[in-house]
Amino acid sequence: MVNLKTSIAGIPLESYFFNASGPKCMTLEELLALAASNSAVVMSKSSTFEPREGNPEPRYCNLEFGSINSMGLPNLGYKKYAEFAPLLKVQTTKPYFVSVSGLKLAENMEMLKYLSEIKDIDALELNLSCPNVIGKPQICYDFDQTREVLREIEKVAKKPLGLKLPPYFDFVHFEEAASIINKHNIAFVTCINSVGNALFIDPEKEVVVIKPKGGFGGLGGAYIKPIALANVRKFRELLRKEIQVIGVGGVDTGVDAFEFLLCGADAVQVGTTFQKEGVKCFARLETELKAYMFQKGYDDISDVKGKLKTL
């Protein structure tokens, strides 16, 4: 029997897979569906200080090898996700993680402070990498701003805190980001958010496929898996061993998850595939990863994690 159990921030998880903040996790009904699924965690939509409708539609499009979106953080507001916590705990013993994505430092601090007091919330994931809010930069591409944010939020976040990071592409940037994160009480990093400002065109109609920002949006799915793997691998090399790494980006099969495991990911989140398939994807991915590990003679994810070979 192959064991896929893992843990994040000392919180036991029954499986290696859970949902990425983004698809199908905004309403209580969607969160309850996750609670009833094989997702190891119930992860909320990225919450802002006030409820947001997000960008105009169409703002999401499935592509052959992934997806493109410019959602603009539609959500019910952080207090609603706090209200959901005890309701979810009635239905499941699974951990409940709340994603936070304030538009200002002061908002992030207020939200993290408030959510830290909710006993039925197990961990927080601070999204510092949303590429689809018009007029707002990705904080994690500005290292001076990143230093300030981490210094301040550390004062108020009393739950295990993770950071959702953007894709980095240069070794110098990996090293700079890791050096900043290593100085703070961060439990985990999630690598990666969608690759920002991609453009997909319908050549027959000669038109872009989403409306916001003239068609520019965040690219997800199989298109970005090599970039996600590189980010997981590099951050696992550079971060303190106490800081865990969660992989996300192109997890569509059990073999995809196995590759993230080789790179050192402690768990993986599922975004585009979850959007396309719904909650049944988690059971399928578990079955496929177990079958692939059994075929290769592995009994436990610890036999594989971080064991990627180089030439």
Kindly state the tokens that stand for 3: 């064991």
User: Rounded CA gap, 87 and 98, in Å?
Assistant: 14
Q: Is residue 118 a contact partner of residue 155, using CB atoms and an 8 Å limit? A: no
Query: Concatenated DSSP letters for 31-80?
Result: HHHHHTSS-SSEEPPPB-SS-B--SPSP-EEEETTEEEE-----B--HHH
**Would residue 130 show up in a list of annotated catalytic residues for this protein?**
yes
DSSP element (H, E) containing 273? helix 272-277
Q: Letter for the amino acid at 61?
A: C
Distance, in Å, from the CA atom of 213 to the CA atom of 175, rounded to the nearest integer, reads 31
The C-alpha atoms of residue 252 and residue 281 are separated, in whole angstroms, by: 9
> What does each C-alpha distance from 127 to 33, 72, 100, 305 come to in angstroms?
23, 13, 6, 25
Residue 268 and residue 288 in contact, taking contact as beta carbons nearer than 8 Å = no
Comparing CA positions, the residue from 257, 263, 270 lying closest to residue 235 is: 263
HSE-up (13 A, CA, CB side) for residue 231: 26
Of 130, 191, 263, 281, the catalytic one is 130
User: Which residues, in sequence order, are CB contacts of 86 under 8 Å at separation 6+?
Assistant: 120
Which residues are identified as catalytic? 130
